[in-house]
């Protein structure tokens, strides 16, 4: 493995640990975790006390057709769909876990969609 790849992975792991040290999900306020690839957007509502994923949503669940790249508008739609599913299960508030992603672009649009859907983030 190249040294630059090792360095990038270690920096990413440090960012994840730094964010996760402050954030924890409970049954009343789930941890909203995201994973983004170029073609897909995944969101999970996690109860860390039980170690269980209680809710999940992808771009396919939001009715977005498959394509090569997820846009900012697509991320907002996934956020709105996640909020609808959470409210159907009686969840009104979540704590956002951005993982190693910066809070801009698709990540920010997703959270804005969650807020527009009625969840307290």
How far apart CA 115 and CA 121 sit, in angstroms, is 7
**pTM, rounded to two decimals:** 0.86
Nearest of 81, 93, 89 to residue 30 by alpha carbon: 93
Which CATH fold topology does 3-116 show? Nucleotidyltransferase; domain 5 (3.30.420)
How far apart CA 93 and CA 6 sit, in angstroms, is 37
- How confident is the model over 25-54, as a mean pLDDT? 90
Dump pLDDT digits (tens) for 4-26: 888 888 888 888 887 877 777 77
pLDDT given for residue 105 in this prediction: 94
**Model confidence at 59, in pLDDT bands (50, 70, 90)?**
very high
pLDDT given for residue 6 in this prediction: 82
Tokens matching residue 101 = 């992603």
Nearest of 17, 14, 13, 19 to residue 32 by alpha carbon: 19
State the virtual CA torsion across 71, 76, 77, 82 in degrees, nearest 10. 130
pLDDT given for residue 10 in this prediction: 87
In the chain, where the domains are located = 3-116
**Model confidence at 1, in pLDDT bands (50, 70, 90)?**
low
Dump pLDDT digits (tens) for 90-116: 999 999 988 888 999 999 999 999 999
Task: Determine phi and psi for 3, rounding to 5 degrees.
Answer: -65, -35
- Biggest alpha carbon–alpha carbon distance for the chain: 47
Nearest of 17, 33, 21 to residue 96 by alpha carbon: 33
């Amino acid at each position: 493995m190249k040294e630059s790849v090792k360095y990038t992975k270690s920096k990413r792991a440090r960012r994840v640990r730094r964010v996760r040290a402050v954030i924890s999900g409970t049954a009343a306020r789930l941890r909203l975790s995201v994973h983004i690839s170029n073609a897909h957007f995944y969101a999970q509502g996690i109860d860390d006390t039980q170690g269980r994923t209680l809710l999940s949503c992808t771009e396919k669940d939001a009715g977005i057709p498959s394509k090569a790249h997820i846009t900012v508008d697509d991320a907002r739609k996934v956020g709105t769909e996640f909020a609808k599913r959470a409210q159907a299960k009686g969840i009104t508030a979540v704590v956002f876990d951005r993982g190693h992603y910066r809070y801009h672009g698709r990540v920010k649009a997703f959270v804005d969609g969650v807020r527009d859907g009625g969840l307290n983030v």
